[in-house]
Amino acid sequence: MSESRPRPQFGEYASPEEQRARIAEPIDEQRAEELGIAPVVPVERQPRQQQEPTLREQTREQAREPGVVQPGAPTVAARRPVAGDRIATSILLGLGLVGLIVTMPGLLDLPGLIRPALVQMGVSGYSSDGLASAMGILALGLQIALWVGAIILSSRSLRAGRLTFWIPLVAGVAANLVVVICLAVAMGADPAFMEYVRSQQP
């Protein structure tokens, strides 16, 4: 009968490489050459590039890849401007420009606009031409500033994907309010008009 080897208890039949790997004992190149085996390097002493990438490195690599959504990262949907809002904004800005062009001649000659209106009311002798001219130029300048500001703000709002139609709408209301205020100042400062107002009071 052939003798059978006893069951190994402490790894007697294992190769030196397997034994060294089990006990995680490093073998430098000189010792490995003497034993005629490959050097054994513990995992923690391996070069960084041979180790598995850390969680931070994996996250960084995923962030570099386009279209990769990191787990747990908040997703922000890109907001796109609504087509109807863009059309409404363009129409309102166009109407504002048309209104500005139409009212420009009257504001540049506000005394000539006020005097016929007062004559129809039965008031004659309007004499505040200088103040009316200044108020007309001021109203025109404010209208232009409001329209340009509406264009700038509307463009930025559309690029950001926000609701925009209300910007030229508010600018148009403000422009009309400016004209009314300047016209009221130009008329209210005239003595003939104020005499007419007093005559209408009971």
Say which residues have a Cβ less than 8 Å from residue 50's Cβ, sequence separation at least 6. none
- Contact call for residues 166 and 194 (beta carbons, < 8 A): no
Task: In whole angstroms, give the CA distance from residue 19 to residue 23.
Answer: 6
Q: What is the pLDDT of residue 96?
A: 93
Q: Which tokens sit at 67?
A: 């279209």
- Contact call for residues 139 and 178 (beta carbons, < 8 A): yes
Mean pLDDT taken over the chain: 77
Full pLDDT tens readout for the chain, 202 residues:
445 555 555 555 566 666 655 655 566 677 767 766 666 555 554 444 444 555 556 555 555 554 444 555 444 444 565 788 999 999 999 999 999 999 999 999 998 888 888 888 888 778 888 999 999 999 999 999 999 999 999 999 999 999 999 999 999 999 999 999 999 999 888 888 888 888 877 6
Task: In whole angstroms, give the CA distance from residue 94 to residue 100.
Answer: 10
Say which residues have a Cβ less than 8 Å from residue 82's Cβ, sequence separation at least 6. 163
CA distances from 68 to 82, 169, 199 (A): 27, 42, 79
The amino acid present at 16, given as its one-letter code, is P
Residue 129, Cβ neighbours under 10 Å: how many? 16
pLDDT tens string 106-134: 999 998 888 888 888 888 778 888 999 99
What is the reported pTM? 0.57
Q: What is the pLDDT of residue 73?
A: 47
